[in-house]
Structures are given as C-alpha cells and as structure tokens.
Structure 1
Amino acid sequence: MKIDPASPADLSAQIASAIRDAIVSGQLIVDERLPSEAELADQFDVSRPTVREALKRLAAQSLIRTQRGATGGAFVNRLSFEDAYPQQVTTSTLLLSMNAVSFETACEARYALERACAPLSAERRSADHLATMRAEIHRQSQPGLTDEAFCASDVAFHRALVDGAGNPVLSYQLAGAVEAMQPLMNMITFTARSREAIVALHTVIADAVEAENARAATDGLTALEEETQTLARNVFEARAKRSG
C-alpha cells in the first residue's frame, strides 16, 4: 500500500483509499487485523493523527471496525448490503440535487427500475412483504395522516415491493431509486395529489403481487408513474403561471 506525498490530495484520504483498495482487491480479507496506528504511520511516513483520520474515514464507510483491549485494533469489516443502503441513498440524493436532474428524468428512471423488479416480487414475495404493503396501504388511508407520514409510508410500501424480489443486489441498487427519489417526488406533488388515487393504485399493485400476476403489477406501476408525471406537470405549470 502506497501514497504519493507530492499529490495535492489530503494524505488521510490517500491512506484511506490505499487501504480500501487493498480490501477490495483481497490483499486484506474480512476479519483481518490492520497494522497498528504506529505501524501504519511508519509505513506511510505520516503522523499518527493522519492515520487516525484515515481510519475514521474507513469506519464511516463501514469498511473497518475497531475493538478495544489487548486483542483489539482495527479489523476489516464484513460489509452487508443493508449497511451500505444509507450511503447509496445519500449518494443518489446528492447526484440528483447537484446535477439538477429533472423530475421527469428521475421519475422515468425510478419506475423503470421498479418495473424490472416487480415480476420477481410477484414470484418470490413473502407473507411479511405482503403484510407490510397492506399495512402501509391501510396507514395511507387514515384521514389524519400528515404529509410527512404519508411520504414515509409511501417509501415503506415501495421498499417492501422491491425487497419482495428476494434479491439483495436489486434491493441495494433500488435503495437510491426509492428512498432518494420518492421523497423528492412526494415533495413536489403532495399539494396536488389525490391520496385516494394513490391508495387505489397501491392496492392494485399489492393485489397483483399477492396473485403472482407480474403483468398486472408492472401495469400498476406504469399507471402510478403516469399519475405522478401528470401531477408534476400540473404543479410546474401552475408555478409558471404564478411567476409569469
């Protein structure tokens, strides 16, 4: 593992990158103990605080864990898909906001991904996934539910649909699509949407998944996308008229 002292990049970031590359390449394996802070400082010819900062970066990415005591130290962590969800969501959220991705583009991408997942969910979903979807539909039907709570329930419904596919790689990839894009869509459309229409479409999707009807589940998602896109156009047109 090497760094370039002449590089303008932060030294702790370089060290973290070097260790991360060693983990990804298999040079450092799961549960292997990393060299001590002093040893790493000597190896990279930097101060111990610089090494400490690099280790903090790796821990924040769940790539390493630390243990105290005589047998303690920093160890290569076994990263799970669930542990990686928050980072995927954060990255997707930042990409959408920093690159000014249009609502139409984000909506198109999100539903295209979810439609690809629907047939697997119709085939593999468990009773727990169905129960979650039904519970969220019931929750969304409550008259006193706040917009914030409705949005959270909306995310939970689609999260259960995606997880019902029984594919952790798909669940990870769709974490950004559902948990980053859905709140954005809700935020833009909540003033114009009909909760009754959304609940009805969610019910169609849940019924299709329960009946193992992949086509109907896909069609339900297409109808939901069309409803969402129409709401967004109405909102943007109303805003344009007010500003004009």
Structure 2
Amino acid sequence: MTVQRKTTGLEFDDVVTTSAAKQIAESVRGAILEGRLKVDERLPSEDELAVRFKVSRPTIREALKRLAAQHLIRSRRGPAGGNFVTAPTAVDAAFSLANMTTLMVAVGHISLDDMATARLELESVCCRLACQQRTQADLDAMNVEIGLQKKSALTDEEFCAADVRFHRALVNAGGNAVMKFLMHSVVEALQPISNMVIYRVRERQAIVSYHKRILAAVEERDEEAAVKALADLVAYTQDSYRESFARRTA
C-alpha cells in the first residue's frame, strides 16, 4: 500500500531505493510545475527531506543537484540560506534544449538529413516572419555578418560563428518568441554541427552568396524569394554532407 504524506505545497509518495534521487527530483519538479511550490519558496532542509522521503542525505543531495541542473532550484548560503524554487529563464531553457539536441545528434538519434529537413521547415517560417516584421537594425545585423564572412583571413571557427550569428539575426528579425525558442536548438546546436561536418568541402563564397540572397529578399519583404534562397542553401549543405562522407569513405 502506498502511503502519501504532505508538507507545505509538496505531496509525495514513499519511494523505493532504486533511482530514489530521480523519483524525489521528479516529485519536487511536479510540485513546482503544478504550482504547489511557488517561485522563491524555500524547500525543507536536507535533513527534513531525508526524514520525509526516508532516504539518506546523499540521496537528497543528488535529487537537489538534478533540480538545480534543470534550473528549478537555486542555493543560497547564510543564516537565511537554503534551497529555493526558481523559474528557468527563456535563455536557460533554450540553452538546455540546444545541449540536449547536440547530445541526440552525437549518439545518432538525429541524422543529418533530419537536421536539414527540420532546419528548412522551421527557418522557412522565420524567413516569412522576418520579411513581415524586420527592422533596419535587423538588416544591419545580418549585413554585418555577411561583411565578416567575406574576409579571407577569417579562421574556420570565426566563419562558423559569423554563420551562426547571421541565422540568429534572421530568426530574431521575425519577432516571434516561440520561434526564437524552437530555433535555438537549430541555430545554436545543429548549425555548428553542420559546419563541423562540411567545412572542408564547402565554398565560403557560396555560403555568402546564399546569405546575400536571403538578406536581399528580406529587405524587399519578398517571402517567396527568401524561402527559395534558404532552400537552396539547405540543398547546398546536404550536397556538402554527401561529399564530406564520400571523402571520408574514400
């Protein structure tokens, strides 16, 4: 029989010793997401949690580490210190998403073709939004990165960074917070991985030419031209994937 206990804002069931830290972290996380634990509310002490969950203090510490890694709690030292509920910022959430996406690519759960397809579909929406919402500052930001990409003295790492910033500026020009969040994993995670795969076979000037086409279309508010330029860029990237893998195989 499951015995349910309750403390302020937090309900939990007795847990088994296997993966106890994970179960405790999920229980606290659920209480936060459901609003039973409020932002800035102080959690019970480690000793109190250990007694209530019937586990050791090291198990509680592991659970708290899991919650901190998810940006759901923060620690504060001093007489009024302890562990407090916090709310992850959009930046924190996007960063976590990008890290998880990178890991999924690394272990083979996301293929390069999946990357290209997702990028085309999502960024096409961003192109259309950018054509509608862009400001002169957005155009200037993209133009600055194109100017940098033209410099032959740029290292591969610097060129890749300018590439990422160009697409970040394109997404930002759309002015849609949800798309910015979703595209973070594409721009900040998949884009660098893509560059890492193809940098030996791509032509920098080809990338620059596609970026110039995208910028010109956004400036003219021509949605179809912007999407077409992006599609050509993604197709070029996919061809570069194939050439890169063919060279490795040879």
Equivalent residue, structure 1, for 2:12: 2
> Partner letter of residue 193 of structure 1?
R
Deviations 1:156-190 (A, max 9, x none): 11111112222222111111122221122112211
Q: Residue 69 of structure 1: CA displacement?
A: 2.9
Deviations 1:72-96 (A, max 9, x none): 3222112111111221111111112
Where do residues 75-86 of structure 1 align in structure 2 (5 Å cutoff)? Answer: 75-86=84-95
Q: Residue 2 of structure 1: CA displacement?
A: 2.2
| Pair 1:186 & 2:195 matched | yes
| Pair 1:216 & 2:228 matched | no
| Pair 1:175 & 2:184 matched | yes
Q: Is contact 1:188–1:235 with CA below 8 Å preserved after alignment?
A: yes
| Pair 1:124 & 2:124 matched | no
TM-score (norm 1): 0.90
Q: Is contact 2:120–2:230 with CA below 8 Å preserved after alignment?
A: yes
CA distance in 2, matches of 1:46, 1:237: 54
Q: Is contact 2:160–2:192 with CA below 8 Å preserved after alignment?
A: yes
> Partner letter of residue 120 of structure 2?
Y
> Partner letter of residue 6 of structure 1?
V
Q: Is contact 1:64–1:77 with CA below 8 Å preserved after alignment?
A: yes
Partner SS state of residue 83, structure 2 = strand
Distance 1:48 1:68, change over 3 A: same
CA distance in 2, matches of 1:56, 1:101: 28
Which of 25, 30, 37 is the aligned partner of 2:46? 37
Most deviating of 154-163 and 26-35: 26-35
Which of 134, 158, 174 is the aligned partner of 1:149? 158
Partner SS state of residue 84, structure 2 = strand
Q: Residue 236 of structure 1: CA displacement?
A: 2.7
Q: Residue 3 of structure 1: CA displacement?
A: 4.7
Which of 99, 111, 116 is the aligned partner of 1:102? 111
CA distance in 2, matches of 1:198, 1:229: 13
| Pair 1:162 & 2:194 matched | no
> Partner letter of residue 212 of structure 1?
R
CA distance in 1, matches of 2:214, 2:63: 46
Partner SS state of residue 12, structure 2 = coil
TM-score (norm 2): 0.88
Partner SS state of residue 180, structure 1 = helix
Q: Residue 226 of structure 1: CA displacement?
A: 1.4
Structure 1 residues without counterparts, runs of 5 or longer: none
Structure 2 residues without counterparts, runs of 5 or longer: 1-10
Equivalent residue, structure 1, for 2:207: 198
| Pair 1:87 & 2:87 matched | no
Most deviating of 86-95 and 46-55: 46-55
Q: Residue 137 of structure 1: CA displacement?
A: 0.8
Distance 1:7 1:144, change over 3 A: same
> Partner letter of residue 159 of structure 2?
F
Identity percentage of aligned residues: 44
Q: Is contact 1:81–1:169 with CA below 8 Å preserved after alignment?
A: no
Most deviating of 188-197 and 129-138: 129-138
Q: Residue 4 of structure 1: CA displacement?
A: 4.7
Deviations 1:118-157 (A, max 9, x none): 1112222344433321111111111111111111111111
CA distance in 2, matches of 1:127, 1:54: 48
Distance 1:153 1:3, change over 3 A: farther
Q: Residue 196 of structure 1: CA displacement?
A: 0.8
